[in-house]
Amino acid sequence: HHHGSVISGAYYVKGNNSCPLIFENPFFKFQSAEKAKKATPYSSSERYFEVEDDMLLLFPSWITHYTRENESEERIVISFNTEHNYE
């Protein structure tokens, strides 16, 4: 997560066949007593977003996210954070 930021983003200039962006489910630890009939994006501990060339992902900065080691030949990503302007 990015402390002090509001919205974070990742723009994948080249992303095809590279590692996905993974978000941790912030509610998973509170769902320990719930039982799901089948796994869904809402009941799992993580959500994987497969990235592609020319893809922009925006997300709240407080959500924990990461990638695994990139094993593709080339990946170009521009990551950024936004902040409030209090003026």
Residue 23: pLDDT band with limits 50, 70, 90? very high
59, 65 contact by CB (below 8 A): yes
Closest among 75, 58, 85 to 16, alpha carbons compared: 75
**57 vs 36: CA distance, rounded Å:** 28
Tokens standing for residue 6: 């509001």
pLDDT > 90? residue 52: yes
Question: Minimum mean pLDDT among 35-44, 53-62, 75-84: which range?
Answer: 35-44
Tokens standing for residue 28: 């998973």
Residue 33: pLDDT band with limits 50, 70, 90? low
Backbone dihedral region for residue 45 (phi beyond 0: left; psi -120 to 50: alpha; all else: beta): alpha
